[in-house]
Amino acid sequence: MRPEVTGAVGRLAGKVALVTGGGRGIGAGIARRLAAEGAAVAITYGASAAGAAAVVAGIEAAGGAALAVAADLADAAALQAAFEAAHQRFGRLDILVNNAGMGVAAPIDEARLEDFDACVAVNLRAVFVGIQEAVRRMGPGGRIVTIGSVNGDRISFQGGAVYAATKAAVAGLTRGAARDLGARGITVNCVQPGPIDTDMNPADGPWSAPARAATALGRFGEAADVDAMVAFLCSDEAAFITGATLDVDGGYNA
| Residue 137 backbone zone (phi > 0: left; psi -120 to 50: alpha; other: beta) | alpha
Q: Is 85 strand, coil or helix?
A: helix
Q: What percent of the chain is helix, strand and coil (3-state, nearest 5)?
A: 45, 15, 40
- Which range, of 151-160, 174-183, 214-223, 232-241, averages the lowest pLDDT? 151-160
pLDDT computed for residue 201 by the predictor: 83
Euclidean distance between CA atoms 103 and 60, whole angstroms: 32
Q: What is the pLDDT of residues 86-110, one digit of tens each?
A: 999 999 999 999 999 998 889 999 9
Sign of the alpha-carbon dihedral angle for 181, 249, 103, 112: positive
Out of 45, 83, 90, 163, pick the active-site residue.
163
3-state secondary structure of 205: coil
Average pLDDT over residues 126-131: 98
- pLDDT at res. 9: 57
The C-alpha atoms of residue 162 and residue 139 are separated, in whole angstroms, by 35
- Whether residue 5 is predicted with pLDDT greater than 70 in this model: the reply is no
Over the chain, what is the mean pLDDT?
Answer: 94
Q: Give the distance, in angstroms, between the CA of residue 95 and the centroid of all CA atoms in the same chain.
A: 11
Per-residue burial over 34-69, b = 16 or more CB atoms within 10 Å of its CB, e = otherwise: bbbbbbbbbbbbbebeebbeebbebbeeeebbbbbb
3-state secondary structure of 145: strand
162-216 residue pLDDT tens: 999 999 999 999 999 999 999 999 999 999 999 999 887 889 888 788 889 999 9
What percentage of the chain has pLDDT greater than the value 90?
87
Out of 2.160.20.60, 3.30.70.660, 3.40.50.1820, 3.40.50.720, which CATH number does the structure's domain 16-248 have?
3.40.50.720
Task: Specify whether 252 is catalytic.
Answer: no
Whether 1 shows a pLDDT value over 60: the answer reads no
The pLDDT, as a whole number, for residue 40 is: 98
User: CA 36 to CA 34: how far, in whole Å?
Assistant: 5
Residue range 35-74, pLDDT digits in tens: 999 999 999 999 889 999 999 999 999 999 999 999 999 9
Pick from 8-12, 154-158, 185-189 the range whose average pLDDT is largest. Answer: 185-189
Amino acid of residue 212: R
* pLDDT score at 227: 97
Domain boundaries, the chain: 16-248
Rounded Cα–Cα distance for residues 59 and 69 (Å): 15
Are 145 and 96 contacting, i.e. CB atoms less than 8 angstroms apart?
A: yes
**Cα(101)–Cα(123) distance, rounded to whole angstroms?**
5
pLDDT confidence bin for 7, thresholds 50/70/90 = very low
